[in-house]
Structure 1
Amino acid sequence: MGNGFDLLNIILLIAAVLVFWRLRSVLGQRTGHERPPYDPYSASNGRGPQEEADAAGKAESDGKVIPMPGRAMPSAQEGPLSGRLQHVEPGAQQGLTEIALTDRMFDPEGFLEGARAAYEMIVTAYAEGDRETLRPLLSDPVYASFEGAISAREEKNLKMEFALIGLKSADIKTAKLADTKARIGVKFVSEQSTVTKNEDGIVVEGDPVTVHTVTDIWTFERDTRSRDPNWQVVATEAGA
């Protein structure tokens, strides 16, 4: 019985050696030079450090990378309005920079969008005699001038029919910061049709079928310390 047991042990030992040798031949040995497992979420995906740095720089220059905290941001020497001075005449750039340094939320394009909307509202409200719309958009002296013209029409029973065909352009012409008051002059070029009729519907001024190109220069003002983000028109004049 002892010899049988020894023979069984020998057979099992040989089988274990054969299994180990088979696994070794299939899986191989670790030498320290194996490729790491592929990670689909890795930023480099097998690229070297220099290749990865070059790829990151290319992606950022293509606008595909959003700068995160800790990344180098544009130099302060570029100015607060760097790359955002469209529709601005050269003489206004310094004033806009001063305004932006005082009011970090200021943006010329955003301002112009609001100025265009205000222009359309004001010229339409003036033609319709809509004092309620005009009041918050105009300073006291400008409102007094507009209201006086409206009252004069009403006293003569005249009615203005107005159509803003289109606003062709709106450009910042001047910009100035005086203490905390920001003042920006905007040149508007529009196409309008205006006619004034009496109480009998007879045209007394203008031509309903003629479209005129009108140039206006309006000055907007806002106190940069105020929490109110709205601007008021403080001066109007006809442009050349």
Structure 2
Amino acid sequence: MEFFDFGTIFFLIAAVVIFFQLRNVLGRRTGNERPPFDPYTAGRNGSRKEQGANGENVVSLPRRKGAAEPDQIYADIDKVAKPGTELNKGMRAIRDADPSFAPKSFVDGAKMAYEMIVMAFADGDRRTLKNLLSREVYEGFVSAIDEREKRKEKIESSFVGIDDMTIIAAEMKGSEAHVTLRIVSELISATRDSAGEVIDGDPETVAEVKDVWTFARDTRSRDPNWKLVATEAED
């Protein structure tokens, strides 16, 4: 008969103790065990619902394909105006009312409108002005043209270009979106009297002109065009 040395006996006793401890911990049922994994059941139920933190069923809705992240919706506006400023808030409000509104596209369109309005006023082109101006502004422009024609004065004007056009204010007034621009342009302009004498301006000098114009559009209207609703010269 072989005898075990002390070390062998010690390890045998330790193994038996560990076995019973594991059995006591792992072998008991508490009633909270999860059922065995069933790939078919998981495929049917897991695709529709997930368990929330409190055991409640949470329906996972798929993200709409092509939907922009919240931070991306106003990304182009945030590049133009610092988030949190009144200007940024105003443009965001316009975007909410009119998803097609984009600062860069708006400024590009305003540049074309500015040149058309300036030249139409110089030429006395009432038809073009009527399409681009609000009723109040149109009446003011036409009144000035009428007075000029009564005095038999003529404006000779040449549009050189726009040095800068910046959005300085934006807001919603009811359903109307209002955007104000600071404009710095270059223009050659001279007014001649009935005798052909220059009474204002210089036909050979490029002058810098600074204006503050406000355009508006009813966001409920199907008409996508903006109209000039206010003008003032910047000193």
TM-score by length of 2: 0.68
Q: Which residue of 1 aligns with 2:96?
A: 101
Q: CA deviation at 1:84?
A: 4.5
Rounded to whole Å, the distance in 2 between the matches of 1:151 and 1:218 is: 22
Q: How many residues align?
A: 171
* Residues 1:176 and 2:168 are matched in the alignment: no
Q: Which residue of 2 aligns with 1:83?
A: 76
- Per-residue Cα deviation, 1:106-129 (whole angstroms, up to 9, x for no partner): 111111111111000000000000
Q: Show the counterpart of 1:228.
A: 223
Q: Does 1:92 align with 2:95?
A: no
Partner Cα separation in structure 2 for residue 176 and residue 70 of structure 1: 30
Structure 1 gaps of 5+ residues are: 1-68
Post-superposition Cα deviations, 1:150-175, rounded to whole Å, max 9, x if no partner, equal: 01110011010011111111111100
8 A contact 2:215–2:227 mirrored in 1: yes
C-alpha change, 1:134 and 1:200, in structure 2 (3 Å) is: same
RMSD of aligned residue pairs (Cα, Å): 2.0
Structure 2 residue 209 is matched with structure 1 residue 207: no
Distance (whole Å) between structure 1 residues aligned to residue 65 and residue 130 of structure 2: 47
The 5 Å alignment of 1:1-240 reads: 74-76=68-70, 78=71, 80-85=73-78, 91-240=86-235
Give the alignment's TM-score, normalised by structure 1: 0.66
CA distance change for structure 1 residues 213 and 204 in 2, over 3 Å: closer, same or farther? same
2-structure distance, mates of 1:81, 1:125: 35
Runs of 5+ in structure 2 lacking a partner?
A: 1-62
* Paired residue secondary structure (2:169): strand
Contact kept, 8 Å, 1:79 with 1:97, in 2: the verdict is no
Please give the secondary structure, in 1, of the residue aligned with 2:195.
Answer: coil
Counterpart-to-counterpart distance in 1, 2:149 and 2:94: 41
Q: Deviations over 1:64-116 (max 9, x none)?
A: xxxxx97786521x152213455558542110001101111111111111111
- Listed one character per residue, the Cα deviations across residues 166-205 of structure 1 (whole Å, up to 9, x for unaligned) are 1111111100012211000011100111101122221111
Distance of 1:199 and 1:220 partners within structure 2? 35
**Could you say what secondary structure the match of 2:166 adopts?**
strand
Is the CA contact 2:191–2:201 (under 8 Å) kept in the aligned structure 1? yes
3-state secondary structure, aligned to 2:147: helix
| Residues 139, 234 of structure 1: 8 Å contact kept | yes
Structure 1 runs (4+) deviating above 2 angstroms are 69-75, 83-91
Secondary structure at the aligned position of 2:228 is classed as strand
- Structure 1 vs Structure 2: percent identity of aligned residues? 40
8 Å Cα contact 1:118-1:137 kept in structure 2: yes
